[in-house]
Amino acid sequence: MTWRSPLALVRDALRGQRARENELRSLESNLPYEGLEKGKQPNRYFTSNAIKTTKYSLLFFIPMNLYEQFHRLANLYFVGLVILNFIPQVNAFQPEIALIPICVILSLTAMKDAWEDFRRYQSDRKLNNMPCFIYSRKEKQFVERCWKDVRVGDFVKVVCNEIIPADLLLLYTSDPNGVCHIETANLDGETNLKQRTAVSGVCNTHPKFEPESFKGIVVCEKPNNNLNHFKGYVEKPDKQKVGAGIESLLLRGCTVRNTDHAVGFVVYAGHETKSMLNNSGPRYKRSKLERRLNIDVFFCVILLFTMCLIGALGHYLWLNAMPVVPPYLVPPTSGQLDSPSLASFYMFFTMIILLQILIPISLYVSIELVKISQIFFITNDIDLYDEETDSRIQCKALNITEDLGQIEYIFSDKTGTLTENKMVFRRCSIMGTEYPHKENDGKLFQKISRTSSSSLSHSQKTDAYLDFFLALAICNTVVVSMATSQRRRVSAQNAGSIFKFCKRKPKRNRTFTEDSEEHFQPSGQTEGVRTTGLQPCSLHPPSLSDKPALTSDNLRYEAESPDEAALVYAAKAYGFTLLSRTPDSVSVKLPSGEVLDFEVLDTLTFDSNRKRMSVLVRHPITKEYVLYTKGADFAIMELLGTPYAGMLRLDGNKKNIATVTQRHLDCYAKEGLRTLCIAKKVVSEAVYKRWSVDRKKAMAAIEDRERLVMDTAVQLETNLTLLGATGIEDRLQENVPDTIQALREAGIKVWVLTGDKPETAVNIGYACGLLEDEDLVINMAAVFQITCTNILDCTLEEVRRYNADPRNVDTTLNMSLVIDGLTLDKALSPDLLDRFVALVKHCRSVLCCRVTPLQKSRVVKVIREKLKVMTLAAGDGANDVNMIQAADIGIGISGQEGMQAVMASDFAISRFKHLKKLLLVHGHWCYTRLANMIIYFFYKNVAYVNLLFWYQFFCGFSATAMIDYWLMIFFNLFFTSLPPIMFGIMDKDISAEMLLGVPELYKTGQGEGDYRFTTFWVSILDAFYQSLVCFFVPYLVYQDSDIDMFTFGTPLNTSALFIILLHLSIEIKSWTVVHWIIMLGSVALYFIVTLAYSAVCVTCNPPSNPYWILQSQMEDPMFYLICILSTVVALLPRMYIHLQIYYYGKATISRTGVNQH
Amino acid sequence: MFRVSVLQTTDVIPSKEKSRCGRVGGVSRSEKMVKQESESANRPDNTAFTQQRLPAWQPILSAGIVIPGFVLIGLAFIGIGVALLVTSRSIQVLELDYTGDGNGSPCSSCSQSTTVNCKCSLNFTLDTLFQGPVFFYYGLSNYFQNYRRYGASKDDNQLYGDLSYFTSPSSSCSPYDYDGSKNPIVPCGSIANSMFNDTFTLTRTVSGKTDSVPLDGKGIAWWTDYNVKYRNPSVTPLKNAFNGTVKPIDWAKPAYELDTSDASNNGFVNQDFLVWMRRAALPNFRKLYRRIDASGDYQNGLPAGNYTIDITYNYPVRVFNGAKKVVFSNVSWMGGKNEFLGIAYLVIGSLCVVMSVVMLIVYAKFKFPDEE
């Protein structure tokens, strides 16, 4: 490093700053500068690929961590107290000692932070040292380096199944079409493959790729976190610009699939990559209990201030009553006593210091510990483990475990949540004829083979059957991958640790392999049909001779939605095998063995407004422009033009195919099948030409592009010819009815919000027990606001009449509501909202059909806000994300549909049935444990602090503590801290079997639950009572005696320990070895530490004098008699009430238990 | 730290990547094994702890256990209560106030005047033997030795005999650390300064003859205070250690002359000083002054007769509405007389028994459901 003038350094730094902040960046290749010093590198201003996610550095850990921690109000409070203690007028203890609690809490938190940071450091290091290939000019080849060595401007080669180290502009792939597939599961959780295309013409690629030939400049935008957007171009030396979008960008963290290797130019590295910019921390949700808790902390503050005011006032009166200065009143150094009012003003603050532990600061630390342990137990529950996918439950939100115990409403998605979302092709209706797939008849096959052979021989004539299956095979966005390039999970752990927002790699690939193929394998006789009825393949050698390995057996289809994959497999089962798909062409192998290469002219992708998708292809034989459309039945039916004229003639049947098909569709829906309609349209060349101009214009539009593109799609999708319809079965997940039954018994209302049609939803509703035969099902499907109003009014009136009827005192109206999206919109309008909410309060279950993601979240929000209830939303797809985020608890089901739902969720489970144990057992436990622990904590602090408070009445309100300050700190820190934490982690008020067997027990947590206003104040009052007993029993015994201060404090402290621990023992419902060890250990620790301290501390802690006091007390029988008496008197009322509740509770449990069986 | 393995740019075939840095894979069979193993890698441990199925004991609070339990506790408490009450009743206590509030009281003249060593005497008569061992206390009322600043006003290191703290007392003693002319005060602080300085002698008048009752002042302080916590500096004579220091402002004599009769009972280990320095917990307290020496006539305590306490009245208490008294008491295993504890045990014991009876009635009437 040569010496450079500071001015030059500053100038360089400024230039770097400007380069980084610039809206556009110009990047050059590093290769010409290889080996030069840093100052000469063209891209030196941009961050390197080494990442650092650690918050702290080794050197500045302490100041930075302290800064972080002082953001917490509680810590500031404590520090304020310490500062108060350093003011001589108000200090209660030696200033140094007052530092101890805050130091302990700060250092505990710091240790936790340091550990977490160290873990981040380790994962950073692991990532930074991952291998990758960078082109080196010197060696004329790609050499292996680490990720951290990658710089902007480098050429990096990635090979199949490898994770991409930085954001690369794709320049070359091994694929002749310049295509590279990536899997973005690490970024957005979607497991389907995405295509990326290389920027062509900027490098020599023949015969091999030469990075050195790259002479252009890459201009790109400033880094941003939008994963689906990238703007940039490559400016060649001849000033020609080649545009590049997101379709040419390989994102860091993605995995290369199905592509042997690819080379890219590094545009963003390290922290500027899109994945790192997306890497935001975990979300913070506040639980209901915590909100309640904060109110109670506020009450504690009021209580503290009241007590301090009493102390100050008492001190004032005490001083005023003094006729002259008594010998024990020490004047300050000046020799002049403060006036009583000033002295009592100071005393107020001294009292705050003395009674500070009334605000349970350690409570927050303890709650965090308890929640972490609760999450440990939840994630380790073997019942919530799914063998099939090898996945545990994931807890993403760490601080709302207790909310699981208070749920009143569950909003569930249907597909993938209640059902498997493993689509099985069941039936189809082609040209008005219904064919069940299950008992697969040769009929359909024969028809296909006949038509397909005929269509080949007379290629002019197309046939509906052929078209139907061709549409199934073509009209989709399925990606074909070969079994040979099997996906291997490459260092999944590494990847998981960087991309924090994706904690777990999705284990379930949506690749339909052997087992799923079984569903589609036409049974028995089809083999015969195939061999006899079809021409042997050898006569028609595959046209794709350059891919010899491509046989239909090792094909896998990867689809964004499982329906698509199911349809493609179904088509394959009938001989229409989708062989490959590139952006421009689709090749399909016909049953005859012939391979047809369709030129794909355009794909009109699916959107939720149109609810359909289309593919415009050019038939290789007829050269016709054909549009195949697939979509929701209502979306297709309204676009139908003239019926299929030829078909009608053929069958000699005048019936309207559309009506017949509609009837079939209704049948399918009643069976709970998912229905899709398939249609086609032949587009004349002229129309196509005209349309494609519009289309191109729309695609090129900058403003309002989405709308324009959609409009062009709508333009073309008219006058469709119905080919047929399909029915796909989506089986219910196991134990769904059972789970729903249990949840309902637990007082939880289950709603289903689905995008499916009402018939399907109602069917599933009956299947999973949401609707029952004797239920009154109200079907709300109103087109007009006024009808909607009428229905609501009538139903509410009926409910009122029913409830008013004296015969129905014990029963409630079993009413369920089925409502569709359109009606829901009206019902949620401001003037009907209240009536709607009033109605649904009476409904046992509500099914909302055909709702959009936004409506889903709207419903959740309305119920949550209007009824003030705890809500839980469960879903698996991207359309559930809104709802999941709107609810108090979002449950993601890691299923077939990507990971967005899981990403957005607070808890991710793999099966719906897991909800039962999660809520009924873990929810109940977490809630009662935490609620009881918090109440106990308040009690504990108040009870202990009040001992000091009562003493103030006997020491002239001078803030004297009769307990050694160290022992006071130890008391809170060691002797009585572990038992409540253990109580919060391990207490089991009711066994898991009982909770699962008697779901009604869950109701204890709902609404106000265990932790309510009264419980808090009852325990505070109990604390006052117990502290009174604990103080006044020794007081009355030692009144007028020669007892000294610290000897007086010892039985107080000891009996306080026993009272506080035994109080907890009354609350503990079941004792395990751990309980015994911790409880007895705490008592033992108290005696050991106090004895040791009393033996060692001769002059260590003036003015206190603990020396040999416990020892001498323990020789005195009075000590034991006092401890026993105050413990028994203090706990007698609670014990008695507890016994009564125990008997009462036992009675209720056994009564409900009897009712159950 | 990484190896650089050179690969041809053109022929990267998937099989080669196995030999690359960090992921040296084996043959496909071992890979398969790994895969199978990892198939259930996420499976939680099925242990009693992680599954929250540790063997647990639930306290069974059936009536068959609780009612007898309550009866037993109640009876035990009643037993203890009776024992305590009987013991407490057997303790004799004699309290004599000598503040001198009323005009008729013997020390009223002394309480009015500010004379040093004002003398007054109290007479009392014992009809029966005051059972020994008899302890002689002085008592103060409305005296807040537990006042915070008062309690802090001492220097433990000085009292431990550390000479360096003789010349510079701790600031906690302030304003009793230096006198007006900046001489260090030893022992410093408010507690020492306010030491109780009334003295008492006890005489018995038997058939006109006055007999002084022997009082024993040894061992009235805590053993640990005398031997561990408080020490005189190891300087002989003791007086030299106090060179350059002054006595506390309100003291008549310096610390090394507290007991003229016993040279070893001086300095910081003076028994009266130690007793005073151990601060009382409550504003009404007594402190041990002397024991009646169990010798001669006083073998069994104080015999019946007329007694006189001669008091050297110095300590002012009336100014802050305080009171002074002398107390004679004998002690038992439970210390001084205290009726409260015995009564409390009796009450709680009876309450337990009553509660168990109530529960029994309820039980007999409704039959608790846990016994099917």
**Is there a contact between B61 and A955 if contact means CB atoms under 8 Å apart?**
no
Q: How many whole angstroms separate alpha carbon A168 and alpha carbon A299?
A: 57
**Is there a contact between B22 and A159 if contact means CB atoms under 8 Å apart?**
no
Q: Which of A883, A909, A935 is the last residue in one of the domains? A: A909
Whose tokens are 């260590």? That residue is A1100
Start-end of H helices in A677-729: 685-700, 705-716
Q: Which of A127, A143, A164 is the last residue in one of the domains? A: A127
* pLDDT tens digits, one per residue of B87-96: 999 999 999 9
Is A1155 domain-assigned? no
> Tell me, what amino acid is at A698?
A
User: Mean pLDDT of all residues in chain B?
Assistant: 84
Kindly state whether residues A606 and A661 are assigned to the same domain. Answer: yes
Nearest residue, CB atoms, B151 vs list A960, A1033, A1070: A960
Binning pLDDT at 50, 70 and 90, where does residue A1071 land?
very high
Chain B interface, mutation test: which of A338, A1143, A1154, A1157, most B Cβ atoms within 10 Å? A1143
**Is there a contact between B336 and A1041 if contact means CB atoms under 8 Å apart?**
yes
Kindly state whether residues A411 and A428 are assigned to the same domain. Answer: no
Q: Which residues of chain A are within 8 Å of residue B369 when distances are taken between CB atoms? A: 1143, 1146-1147, 1150-1151
Least confident of A185-194, A771-780, A790-799, B184-193: A185-194
Chain A: closest CA distance from residue B247 (Å): 17
Binning pLDDT at 50, 70 and 90, where does residue A484 land?
very low
Q: Find residues 5-64 of chain B whose CB sits inside 8 Å of chain A.
A: 5-10, 12-14, 17, 20-23, 38-46, 50-52, 54-59, 61, 63
Question: Which of the two residues, B9 and A888, has the higher pLDDT score?
Answer: A888
Q: Is residue A242 classed exposed, middle or buried when 0-12, 13-18 and 19+ CB atoms within 10 A define those classes?
A: middle
Is A331 domain-assigned? yes
* pLDDT tens digits, one per residue of A121-134: 888 888 889 898 99
**Is there a contact between B144 and A160 if contact means CB atoms under 8 Å apart?**
no
Chain A: closest CA distance from residue B207 (Å): 35
Chain A interface, mutation test: which of B1, B21, B52, B277, most A Cβ atoms within 10 Å? B52
Is A54 domain-assigned? yes
Least confident of A334-338, A636-640, B145-149: A334-338
Q: How many whole angstroms separate alpha carbon A295 and alpha carbon A289?
A: 10
Helix (H) or strand (E) holding A378: helix A361-379
Q: Among A154, A175, A188, A413, which one carries the catalytic annotation?
A: A413
* pLDDT tens digits, one per residue of A1084-1122: 999 999 999 999 988 887 788 889 999 999 999 999 999
**What does the DSSP assignment read for A88-111?**
TTT--S-HHHHHHHHHHHHHHHHH
**Is there a contact between A1072 and B54 if contact means CB atoms under 8 Å apart?**
yes
Residue A432, phi-psi category: left (phi > 0), alpha (psi -120 to 50), beta (remainder): left
pLDDT at A1081: 96
Residue A839 has pLDDT above 70, yes or no: yes
Mean pLDDT calculated for residue range B227-245: 90
Q: How many whole angstroms separate alpha carbon A941 and alpha carbon B310?
A: 51
pLDDT at B103: 75
Binning pLDDT at 50, 70 and 90, where does residue A498 land?
very low
Shortest CA distance from A132: residue in chain B: B21
Residue A469 has pLDDT above 80, yes or no: yes
Binning pLDDT at 50, 70 and 90, where does residue A760 land?
confident
Q: How many whole angstroms separate alpha carbon B32 and alpha carbon A221?
A: 45
The DSSP call for residue A387 is: T
**Is there a contact between B23 and A1098 if contact means CB atoms under 8 Å apart?**
no
Nearest by Cα to A913 from A737, A731, A729: A737
pLDDT at A831: 86
Mean pLDDT calculated for residue range A743-771: 86
**Is there a contact between B13 and A260 if contact means CB atoms under 8 Å apart?**
yes
Beta-carbon contacts of A840 under 8 Å, excluding residues fewer than 6 positions away, are: A817, A846, A863
Kindly state whether residues A472 and A602 are assigned to the same domain. Answer: yes
pLDDT at A1146: 66
Binning pLDDT at 50, 70 and 90, where does residue A898 land?
low
Q: How many whole angstroms separate alpha carbon A353 and alpha carbon A360?
A: 13
Is A615 domain-assigned? yes
Shortest CA distance from B368: residue in chain A: A1143
pLDDT at A443: 58
Chain B interface, mutation test: which of A256, A336, A382, A960, most B Cβ atoms within 10 Å? A960
Whose tokens are 């559309």? That residue is A658
Kindly state whether residues A949 and A1072 are assigned to the same domain. Answer: yes
User: Mean pLDDT of all residues in chain A?
Assistant: 81
**Is there a contact between A328 and B144 if contact means CB atoms under 8 Å apart?**
yes
Assign residue A191 the CATH number of its domain.
Answer: 2.70.150.10
Is A1047 domain-assigned? yes
Assign residue A798 the CATH number of its domain.
Answer: 3.40.50.1000
Give the CA count within 13 Å in the CB-facing half-sphere of B99.
Answer: 16
Chain B: closest CA distance from residue A554 (Å): 18
Kindly state whether residues A751 and A684 are assigned to the same domain. Answer: no
Residue A926 has pLDDT above 90, yes or no: yes
Nearest residue, CB atoms, A159 vs list B12, B174, B355: B12
> Do you find a cis peptide bond into A1103, omega within 30 degrees of 0?
yes
Kindly state whether residues A595 and A621 are assigned to the same domain. Answer: yes
Kindly state whether residues A88 and A198 are assigned to the same domain. Answer: no
Shortest CA distance from A491: residue in chain B: B23
Is A112 domain-assigned? yes
pLDDT at B198: 92
Q: Which residues of chain A are within 8 Å of residue B185 when distances are taken between CB atoms? A: none
* pLDDT tens digits, one per residue of B288-331: 999 999 888 888 899 998 999 999 999 988 888 899 999 999 98
ipTM above 0.95, yes or no: no
Per the structure, the count of domains in chain A is: 5
Percentage of residues of chain A with pLDDT beyond 70:
86
**Strand (E) positions, A733-880?**
749-753, 776-780, 815-820, 843-849, 871-875
Helix (H) or strand (E) holding B166: helix B164-167
Nearest by Cα to A394 from A899, A1061, A1028: A899
Chain B interface, mutation test: which of A336, A1042, A1113, most B Cβ atoms within 10 Å? A1042
Binning pLDDT at 50, 70 and 90, where does residue A279 land?
low
Is A511 domain-assigned? no
Mean pLDDT calculated for residue range A659-671: 83
pLDDT at A186: 66
Q: Is A738 annotated as catalytic?
A: no
| Entry pTM | 0.79
Per the annotation, binding residues of A for Mg(2+) are 413, 415, 876, 880
* Paired strand residues for A196: A180
Kindly state whether residues A949 and A1012 are assigned to the same domain. Answer: yes
**Is there a contact between B286 and A1040 if contact means CB atoms under 8 Å apart?**
yes
Q: Which residues of chain A are within 8 Å of residue B151 when distances are taken between CB atoms? A: 960, 1045, 1103
Assign residue A577 the CATH number of its domain.
Answer: 3.40.1110.10
Kindly state whether residues A1002 and A1077 are assigned to the same domain. Answer: yes
Nearest residue, CB atoms, A1118 vs list B172, B175, B335: B335
pLDDT at A458: 42
Q: Which of A730, A765, A793 is the last residue in one of the domains? A: A730
pLDDT at A445: 62
Binning pLDDT at 50, 70 and 90, where does residue A344 land?
very high
Work out how many CB contacts closer than 8 A connect A with B.
Answer: 292
Q: Which residues of chain A are within 8 Å of residue B3 when distances are taken between CB atoms? A: 144
Q: Are A1050 and A1131 in contact (CB under 8 A)?
A: no
* pLDDT tens digits, one per residue of A572-631: 888 888 888 877 888 888 888 888 888 888 888 777 677 788 888 888 888 888 888 888
pLDDT at B81: 96
pLDDT at A447: 60
Q: At A954, is the secondary structure helix, strand, or coil? A: coil
Is A759 domain-assigned? yes
Per the annotation, binding residues of A are 413-415, 564, 606, 630, 674, 754-756, 850, 856, 876, 879-880
Q: At A886, is the secondary structure helix, strand, or coil? A: helix
Q: How many whole angstroms separate alpha carbon B98 and alpha carbon A749?
A: 80
Q: Find residues 228-287 of chain B whose CB sits inside 8 Å of chain A.
A: 228-229, 250, 278-287
Nearest residue, CB atoms, B147 vs list A329, A382, A1071: A329
Structural domain boundaries enclosing A70: 25-127
Kindly state whether residues A701 and A753 are assigned to the same domain. Answer: no
Question: CA dist B104 to A698, A985, B97, Å?
Answer: 117, 70, 12
**Is there a contact between A333 and B174 if contact means CB atoms under 8 Å apart?**
yes
Shortest CA distance from B6: residue in chain A: A143
**Is there a contact between A131 and B250 if contact means CB atoms under 8 Å apart?**
no
Kindly state whether residues A1077 and A947 are assigned to the same domain. Answer: yes
**Is there a contact between A141 and B7 if contact means CB atoms under 8 Å apart?**
yes
**Is there a contact between B283 and A260 if contact means CB atoms under 8 Å apart?**
no
Q: At A907, is the secondary structure helix, strand, or coil? A: strand
Cβ neighbour number for residue A611 with a 10 Å cutoff: 15
Kindly state whether residues A961 and A882 are assigned to the same domain. Answer: no
Q: How many whole angstroms separate alpha carbon A925 and alpha carbon A428?
A: 49
* pLDDT tens digits, one per residue of A46-87: 888 888 878 888 888 888 888 888 877 777 888 888 888 888
pLDDT at A644: 47
Chain B: closest CA distance from residue A1130 (Å): 11
Per the annotation, binding residues of A for ATP are 413-415, 564, 606, 630, 674, 754-756, 850, 856, 879-880
